[in-house]
């Protein structure tokens, strides 16, 4: 099987080219074709010799996807379902969102997810495998080409737990971040985790400069454990210790995601517990009106409760905002479209 050339970061590609008897400066030329020109074939790399193009064609793939489905919301959000082309069931989702500051893409990091969060559409569908670095990047390239735009922000919040595919995600970030690659600054990249504590420490020590989002959803171990089984492995106390370490090491604010579910975690008592937990921390709370999924047991909080919850936190000095709902008419929450497609 051919190797996906987009799995190599610039340094690795130089080594790879050396190993096939080529000059290392070719790596930068190839990077330009891959990430600036977004080519569909090695043949388009016209400043490489015919001989090298042939060698690349014979030994490597460009890891192109097939667009299985594309849905567009009335608010401009686009949801893509990609077939990664190694198995017809290996389908992933990516979402393109348009903001006043530019285009943002929510990428998947795995085909399926092992975390089992009870509010998530990816739960209950078999985990297939980790995405390779090249497959993470290809989501961006396919969307840039199809929508004829340039992405300026990336969030790892699609299907999968990015910190459960740590090495491939980090390598993808190296390529995304490289000025000769996609040239997207680290502060425009956000990683969202369900709370894999040891990897939060690794991320803090690695100084990559990305934004960290932690899915909290409750500050109470019992409730959080019901929503997120990971809490039984890494309870809130351990998670907060890791978050404080991250802040101390990086001096960066953590964004805590809090999906408000009616009569579950959305009353004032919950807001009080949350305010107590985050008091004094360099943190921001992102309140998310929960998306109702098929068979899911949670439903969306009333607008009144959402506003009360936000105001309570703000009055306690904790910055909290309500996330704007994008693409609700096309089931833009992660995993929903893939779930429907697999059922078919
Ligand atoms: S919310 Fe994220 S971590 Fe939890 S099951 Fe869904 S994809 Fe996995």
The structure tokens listed for 208 are 């990559």
Which superfamily, per CATH, for 72-343? Aldolase class I (3.20.20.70)
Cα separation, 236 vs 241, in Å, equals 8
The structure tokens listed for 58 are 């014979």
Q: Whose CA is nearest to atom 6 of ligand 1?
A: 120
Kindly list the distances between the CA atom of residue 224 and the CA atoms of 118, 154, 215, 228, 290, in Å, as whole numbers in the listed order: 10, 27, 10, 6, 15
pLDDT over 70 (residue 274): yes
The catalytically annotated residue of 93, 142, 161, 257 is 93
220 backbone dihedrals φ, ψ, rounded to 5°: -120, 125
How far is the centre of ligand 1, averaged over its atoms, from the C-alpha of 62 (Å)? Answer: 28
According to the model, what pLDDT value does residue 32 have? Answer: 97
Taking alpha carbons only, the member of 323, 339, 344 closest to residue 104 is 323
How far is the centre of ligand 1, averaged over its atoms, from the C-alpha of 293 (Å)? Answer: 13
Provide the residue ranges of all domains of the chain, joining segments of one domain with +: 3-61, 72-343
Mean pLDDT lowest for which of 135-139, 244-248, 286-290, 335-339? 335-339
At 203-241, the pLDDT tens digits run: 999 988 999 999 999 999 999 999 999 999 999 999 999
**Do 163 and 34 form a contact (C-beta atoms < 8 A)?**
no
pLDDT over 80 (residue 326): no
Q: What is the pTM of this model?
A: 0.94
> Would you place residue 90 in the very low, low, confident or very high pLDDT band (cuts 50, 70, 90)?
confident
* Fold of the domain spanning 3-61: DNA polymerase; domain 1 (1.10.150)
Q: Is 93 a catalytic residue?
A: yes
The secondary structure element, H or E, covering residue 212 is strand 211-215
């Amino acid at each position: 099987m051919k190797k996906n050339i987009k799995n190599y970061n610039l340094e690795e590609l130089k080594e790879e080219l050396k190993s096939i008897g080529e000059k290392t400066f070719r790596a930068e030329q190839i990077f330009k074709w891959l990430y600036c020109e977004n080519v569909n074939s090695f043949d388009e790399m016209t400043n490489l010799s015919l001989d090298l193009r042939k060698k690349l064609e014979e030994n490597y793939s460009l890891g192109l996807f097939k667009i299985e489905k594309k849905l567009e919301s009335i608010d401009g959000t686009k949801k893509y379902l990609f077939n990664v082309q190694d198995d017809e069931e290996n389908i992933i989702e990516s979402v393109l969102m348009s903001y006043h500051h530019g285009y943002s893409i929510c990428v998947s990091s795995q085909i399926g997810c092992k975390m089992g969060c009870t509010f998530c559409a990816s739960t209950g569908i078999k985990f297939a495998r980790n995405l390779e670095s090249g497959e993470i990047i290809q989501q961006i390239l396919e969307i840039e080409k199809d929508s004829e735009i340039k992405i300026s922000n990336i969030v790892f919040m699609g299907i999968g737990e990015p910190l459960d595919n740590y090495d491939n995600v980090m390598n993808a970030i190296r390529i995304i971040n490289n000025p000769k690659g996609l040239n997207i600054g680290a502060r425009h990249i956000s990683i969202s985790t369900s709370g894999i504590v040891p990897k939060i420490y690794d991320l803090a020590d690695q100084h990559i400069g990305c934004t960290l989002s932690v899915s909290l959803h409750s500050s109470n171990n019992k409730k959080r454990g019901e929503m997120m089984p990971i809490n039984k492995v890494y309870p809130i106390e351990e998670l907060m210790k890791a978050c404080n370490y991250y802040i101390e090491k990086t001096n960066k604010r953590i964004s805590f995601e809090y999906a408000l579910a009616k009569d579950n975690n959305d009353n004032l008592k919950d807001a009080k517990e949350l305010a107590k937990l985050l008091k004094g921390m360099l943190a921001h709370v992102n309140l998310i009106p929960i998306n109702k999924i098929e068979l899911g047991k949670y439903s969306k909080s009333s607008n009144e409760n959402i506003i009360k919850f936000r105001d309570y936190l703000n009055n306690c000095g904790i910055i909290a905002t309500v996330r704007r709902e994008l693409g609700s008419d096309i089931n833009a929450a992660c995993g929903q479209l893939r779930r429907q497609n697999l059922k078919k």
